[in-house]
């Protein structure tokens, strides 16, 4: 251990981070080993360069030269073409050319939920978790294609074990276990305003998940990228965990992306209001980009055209498609990081933990969509918000479990009406349609449902 300590002391001196061993003598042998191991994993060059960026305010420079990007409207596509897109997408999935990455590493802080977000029950009559809803949509598509789609689930060091256990306890929601791979996103140290890495405890470095863009590094490090290549996968669907209506592995969307001939695609919805917390898909420095809501200047967020519509209206719903080669290409560039000025609890010189009331340091995150700046162009599909976007972000109010549940139930009610059920029959009835029955409103047997509607108030189909 002595040599290890000396080596580490040298590194810490070089980077001005000696304080990390400030409480070393007070630790047990096991705690000492753990702390040294954590320090050895830190990329000090990266942290130093990120801090330099913070003090140089490079973040603001990225905001230059934004231009709107015109999305294809789903509603403007006729039924014949929709069928064609569907056929193309289904064929790709049947031929095992597509896989899905689910981003489920985030923490449900705003939701006031300490568990893994995917295990959250938004209060549907079935009490299905967000994981189960997504899994059953995948089962539906897998059945249509006669093959299980490979599903890669990104967790974080904080929720990994819990996530795996949850799937195991629920028998993988009847998905094929061999087609599910869990992998952890990385973590990065947090720093104070002087660039010093925080200690969370006397013997523990303060670390935070490295953002959903950590996905790319993780799939490379864990050999998943190579595995995908060996399997002949061409397209990767990437979606977030906190949208209760997300159309996972949507064949129409895949067909759309393939047909445009572009290497990446993204679904958007019309922004609800200028201050909606949604990233905006546009051009930045002549490249496609998503500018996160925290980084979009208010004047641009509010800017309207002559019709009074928002110019930057393409709201990101984290439903992306990328060709595998785009991901490989991305590693040739420096991965950008975004800075968040946050309240970070830390251990002070006396060894006590402080909980600051004001932001006192920085966390660094890379965003999944930063990869779009490295593609020539991308295809953007504007879909209907009420059909595809039910965000679960906050405990109450907007974008809460309550609003998401109602969006799901309203959509299901509309599916029934569209399949010929008289809306009067639905009065005071709650209907939830399982994704195993219907993916996007298809396969609903009207007669059967009408029968059941007479029998109960809450109906699970």
Ligand X SMILES: CC(=O)N[C@H]1[C@@H](OP(=O)(O)O)O[C@H](CO)[C@@H](O)[C@@H]1O
The site for ligand X (CB under 6 A) is made up of 212, 240, 277-279, 290, 292, 315-318, 367-368, 391, 393
Closer residue to ligand X, CB minimum distance, 205 or 244: 244
Closer residue to ligand X, CB minimum distance, 118 or 203: 118
Backbone angles phi, psi at 316, to 5 degrees: -70, 130
Residue 140 Cα to chain centre, angstroms: 22
Closest CA to 414 of 398, 401, 432: 432
Return the bridge partners of 339, or none.
364
DSSP for 261-291 reads T-SEEEEEEE-SSTT-S--EEEEETTEEEEE
In the bound complex, what is the minimum distance in angstroms from residue 192's beta carbon to ligand X? 23
Q: Which residue is at the shortest CB distance from ligand X?
A: 279
In the bound complex, what is the minimum distance in angstroms from residue 461's beta carbon to ligand X? 27
In the bound complex, what is the minimum distance in angstroms from residue 137's beta carbon to ligand X? 17
In the bound complex, what is the minimum distance in angstroms from residue 38's beta carbon to ligand X? 26
Closer residue to ligand X, CB minimum distance, 137 or 271: 271
Give the separation between CA 407 and CA 386, rounded to whole angstroms: 7
Closer residue to ligand X, CB minimum distance, 106 or 263: 106
CB atoms near residue 94 (< 10 Å): 14
In the bound complex, what is the minimum distance in angstroms from residue 230's beta carbon to ligand X? 29
Closer residue to ligand X, CB minimum distance, 203 or 211: 211
Closer residue to ligand X, CB minimum distance, 203 or 209: 209
In the bound complex, what is the minimum distance in angstroms from residue 375's beta carbon to ligand X? 17
**CA torsion 39→44→48→49, rounded to 10°?**
-140
Give the separation between CA 67 and CA 282, rounded to whole angstroms: 6
In the bound complex, what is the minimum distance in angstroms from residue 277's beta carbon to ligand X? 5
Contact 257, 321 (CB under 8 A): yes
In the bound complex, what is the minimum distance in angstroms from residue 307's beta carbon to ligand X? 23
Closer residue to ligand X, CB minimum distance, 143 or 341: 341
* Distance (Å) of CA 189 to CA 41, 42, 106, 181, 305: 10, 7, 16, 26, 43
Closer residue to ligand X, CB minimum distance, 152 or 346: 152
Give the separation between CA 308 and CA 342, rounded to whole angstroms: 35
Closer residue to ligand X, CB minimum distance, 97 or 287: 287
Contact 303, 311 (CB under 8 A): yes
| Contact partners, residue 49, CB within 8 Å, separation at least 6 | none
Contact 440, 387 (CB under 8 A): yes
In the bound complex, what is the minimum distance in angstroms from residue 400's beta carbon to ligand X? 13
Give the separation between CA 421 and CA 459, rounded to whole angstroms: 14
In the bound complex, what is the minimum distance in angstroms from residue 12's beta carbon to ligand X? 32
Contact 314, 69 (CB under 8 A): yes
Contact 113, 120 (CB under 8 A): yes
Closer residue to ligand X, CB minimum distance, 394 or 414: 394
DSSP for 86-99 reads HHHHHHHHHTT-EE
């Amino acid at each position: 251990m002595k040599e290890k300590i000396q080596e580490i002391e040298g590194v810490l001196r070089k980077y001005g981070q000696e304080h990390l061993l400030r409480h070393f003598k007070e630790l047990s042998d096991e705690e000492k080993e753990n702390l040294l191991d954590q320090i050895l994993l830190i990329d000090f060059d990266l942290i130093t360069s990120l801090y330099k960026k913070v003090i140089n305010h490079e973040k603001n420079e990225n905001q230059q030269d934004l231009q709107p990007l015109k999305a294809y409207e789903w509603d403007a596509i006729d039924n014949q073409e929709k069928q064609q897109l569907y056929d193309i997408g289904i064929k790709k999935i049947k031929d095992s050319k597509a896989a899905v990455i689910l981003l489920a590493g985030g923490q449900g802080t705003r939701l006031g939920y300490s568990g893994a977000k995917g295990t959250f029950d938004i209060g549907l009559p079935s009490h299905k978790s967000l994981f189960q809803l997504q899994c059953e949509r995948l089962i539906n598509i897998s059945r249509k294609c006669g093959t299980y789609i490979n599903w890669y689930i990104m967790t974080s060091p904080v929720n990994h074990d819990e996530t795996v256990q949850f799937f195991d306890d629920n028998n993988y929601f009847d998905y094929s276990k061999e087609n599910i791979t869990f992998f952890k996103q990385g973590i990065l140290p947090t720093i104070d305003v002087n660039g010093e890495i925080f200690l969370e405890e006397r013997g523990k470095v303060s670390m935070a998940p490295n953002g959903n863009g950590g996905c790319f590094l993780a799939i490379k490090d864990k050999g998943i990228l190579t595995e995908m290549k060996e399997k002949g996968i061409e397209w990767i669907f990437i979606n977030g965990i906190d949208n209760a209506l997300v159309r996972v592995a949507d064949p129409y969307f895949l067909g759309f992306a393939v047909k445009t001939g572009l290497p990446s695609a993204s679904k958007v919805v019309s922004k609800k209001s200028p201050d909606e917390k949604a990233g905006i898909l546009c051009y930045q420095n002549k490249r496609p980009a998503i500018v996160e809501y925290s980084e979009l200047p208010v004047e641009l967020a509010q800017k309207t055209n002559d019709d009074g519509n928002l110019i930057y209206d393409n709201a990101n719903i984290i439903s992306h498609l990328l060709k595998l080669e785009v991901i490989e290409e991305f590693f040739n560039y420096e991965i950008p990081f975004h800075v968040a000025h946050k309240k970070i609890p830390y251990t002070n010189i006396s060894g006590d933990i402080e909980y600051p009331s004001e932001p006192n340091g920085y966390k660094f995150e890379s965003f999944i969509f930063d990869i779009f700046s490295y593609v020539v162009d991308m295809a953007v599909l504007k879909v209907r918000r009420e059909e595809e976007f039910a965000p679960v972000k906050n405990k109450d109010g907007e974008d809460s479990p309550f609003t998401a549940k109602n969006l799901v139930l309203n959509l299901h009610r509309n599916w029934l009406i569209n399949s010929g059920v008289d809306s009067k029959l639905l009065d005071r009835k709650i209907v939830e349609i399982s994704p195993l029955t219907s993916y996007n409103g298809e396969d609903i047997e009207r007669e059967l449902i009408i029968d059941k509607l007479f029998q109960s108030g809450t109906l699970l189909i």
